[in-house]
Structure 1
Amino acid sequence: MSKRIVMVAAVARNRVIGNGPDIPWKIPGEQAEFKRLTTGHTLVIGRTTYESIGRPLPGRTTIVLTRSPTWSADGVLVTHSFFDALSRAALLPGEVVVAGGAQVYAEAMPFASEQIISEVPVSPPGDAFYPEIDPAAWEVVEREPREGYERVTWLRRERM
């Protein structure tokens, strides 16, 4: 695939990204930053993440991954594998932005070229975790302190 694949997530110190359908923190401005980063692009998200949002996000094309052959929702494209999602995204506007949940992030990690992580300085209980970032494969290229979190940009190191 010639399009960049960017993973965008808010991640706690203990790698928690969610607890049931909820994000276990509220940080003013962080969701606005998510909107800024993703508008105009194609979002790839899992069904549970989509259902926790409850609607397609404006200004973005949304591809929802699900194992259910009968699941559908108005205003989104549905695929049943990460590779199908990438194939559809290749024909759509903007970059491919992977925005959760845990399983989708794990599937996207080997293909992503960039990760934009909001590091949240808490360790809440949760049942969804962001995958480990291998420092041999990734390097931090930018770290921006924000109110209540740090925005960290990781780029994939050159593959040997």
Structure 2
Amino acid sequence: MTETTTSAAYDISTDPARLDADRIHRWLSTDAYWALGRARDVQDRAMAGSLNFGVYDRASGEQVAYGRVVTDHATFAWLCDVYVDPVARGKGLGTELVAAAREQLARLGVRRFMLATEDAHGVYEKVGFKSLENPSMWMSQDLQDPS
């Protein structure tokens, strides 16, 4: 299902045909602390296995933001790789993108929507995210050497 929402000057869409994969890879691999140096084939596989959201300037059609959700479309979703082009920052586009993702997942009946961030807590709090009440119940495992 391809969803498109609009604001005055921007469209938010899940249409994979609209994604600018070259731009997304450049943004993430060169400017996003969590994805620096990410290989293009890894980014392509990540996008292929995710629900992708693009934000597009309505006047030019140019993609100005991206985010993806790893989900089973039924019970759980993980938000990641949210990035707004530096020239488009400060306009609330990150918040709009995350709100659009939340709304689409809520329509699917997804119960839990999670993310991890080092520096954008305020952005995510605007759309209802909060720190874990019981973080000790969550566990993780690194399967690859982080270096």
- Normalising by structure 1, report the TM-score: 0.27
The higher-RCO structure (CA 8 Å, 6+ apart) is 1
TM-score by length of 2: 0.29
- Name the structure where strand makes up a greater proportion of residues: 1
